[in-house]
Amino acid sequence: MVHIRTTSSLESFRKFIIFSTCKSFIPSNHNRDPEMFLERDTGPGDIYIEAADKLMVKKLREITFVNAKEIFGIIYSSKTGNTILKWRQLKKKNGKVIGEASPSALVNLVESGVLTKHWFEHYLKSQKQDEDLVK
C-alpha cells in the first residue's frame, strides 16, 4: 500500500470514486453533475459523504446516488479494504486527501487528477531505486 497525503479538488476526488466504483454503469447525467456523489453502506467498501445538504436520488446495485451540497468530507474504502482514503474540506471545493491506496487505486487517482502523472512517475522511480538497493 502507498501512503497518500495531498491536496485535491472536490471534483477530482468525486471522479476518483466514480472511476473506482461505477464507471461502467453510472448514468451519464449523474457522471456530469458535480453535485452528484456516491454512497455505499452495505458490506465492505463503505463510502460516506458528509455534507450540509444531501438528498438520495437513486439506488443502483449497491451504490446510492445522492445530490449533495457543501461537502465537508468524504470517506472512501474499497471493497477489498486495501484502499482507505479521506477527503477533508480545506477551503470551499478544495481539500486534502489522506490515507492508504492500493496499486489499482493509484491508477484511478492519477486518471481522476487527484495525483499528477509527475507524482506517479516519481513514485515508480523511487520504487525501482528501492528494488535496486535490495538486490
Provide the domain limits for residue 130: 2-134
Q: How far apart are CA 85 and CA 48, in angstroms?
A: 11
CA distance 68 to 73: 11
128 band by pLDDT with thresholds 50, 70 and 90: confident
Q: In the predicted model, what is the mean pLDDT of the chain?
A: 91
Contacts of 49 (CB under 8 A, 6+ apart): 37, 38, 39, 66, 68, 71, 73, 74
What are the tens digits of pLDDT across the range 22-75?
988 888 888 899 999 999 987 789 999 999 999 999 998 889 999 999 999 999
Domain count, the chain: 1
Quote the cell numbers at residue 110.
Answer: 492519477
Q: What is the pLDDT of residue 10?
A: 98
